[in-house]
Amino acid sequence: MAYWELGKLLVPYSASMRPSKLCFAVRHTSYTRTQTVVASMRRAALLRSALRRRPLARRRPPFSLPLLRAPSSNAAAKVRDAQLEEATAFVVRVGELREGKTYSQDVAEGVVAALADPASGVPLSALLPTLKQLAGAYEIGEDNGLDALAAAVEREVN
């Protein structure tokens, strides 16, 4: 059987083999020690040059940043304040409905501040639903953790 070299593949060829049954074998070349050393030195040099390059400098925008901003409005601050006030009013209302529990305005604000803190992981948009979940079925006296949070805040406030 004779082998014909096509690129880097060896193709077996014989008159008895049909084209559908051709087997391809990868040509195996053995490298000399010098070729191996040179190849590894090239790879190391490419790696060093890639690590040595400084990252591309960021281009500055043509205008200063304050000029690109839209005129500031207090709409976002107003929405945030409204959400905080609504949450505080909810905590006070839950305290009024529960038997033996009355939360002062300071305690309610502390509970809302604890949940609105970025470290708590509660986004501002989910503040009221989270408080409602913690309150549980507050109309019938069931609690899911709001009383414990309010007690901890009350200890800190007093």
pLDDT for 108 equals 92
Structure tokens at 98: 């529960």
Rounded to 5 degrees, what are φ and ψ at 139? -70, -30
% of residues, the chain, pLDDT over 70: 68
The model's pTM is 0.53
| pLDDT tens-digit readout, 88-99 | 999 999 988 887
> Is the predicted pLDDT of residue 59 greater than 80, yes or no?
no
Torsion of CA 119, 121, 125, 127, to 10 degrees: -80
**pLDDT at site 55:** 63
pLDDT band at 9 (very low <50, low <70, confident <90, very high): very low
The one-character DSSP state at 30 is P
Strand runs labelled E in the chain: 2-6, 9-13, 25-26
pLDDT score at 53: 67
Q: Which two tokens stand for residue 18?
A: 């049909």
Nearest alpha carbon to residue 130 among 139, 120, 122: 122
